[in-house]
Amino acid sequence: MRRKKKSKRGIIDEDIPEVSESEARRQVIYGGIGFVVSLVLVLVFRPGTEHLLEMIILIGIVASSTFGGMKLASWVESKNYNLKG
């Protein structure tokens, strides 16, 4: 059975949406704020035990808040775009 030849463009390029420069800047700012705030909260309220599962959960919380900040920036940008246009 022959394999189908993949395109030169690649799969990754098709999944990445185009964003404006202002939206990208806002995503970096909101994501950075989410990262710093969640990291501070995790460091302040972390449990005393040092189990691997707890560390994985804490990393997940920080990553989720960073991603949430970036999604919030996209939502704010789309709302601003809808109000203008």
| Rg of the chain over all Cα atoms, to the nearest angstrom | 19
pLDDT for position 5 = 58
How far apart, in whole angstroms, are the C-alpha atoms of residue 82 and residue 85?
Answer: 5
- Mean pLDDT per 10-residue section of the chain, whose length is 85 residues: 59 68 89 90 78 84 91 86 69
pLDDT for position 67 = 92
Say what the pTM is.
Answer: 0.65
The tally of domains found in the chain comes to 1
Decide if 35 is inside a domain: yes
Residue range of the domain that includes 80: 21-84
pLDDT for position 32 = 92
How far does the chain reach from its first CA to its final CA, in angstroms?
Answer: 52
How far apart, in whole angstroms, are the C-alpha atoms of residue 39 and residue 33?
Answer: 10
Decide if 4 is inside a domain: no
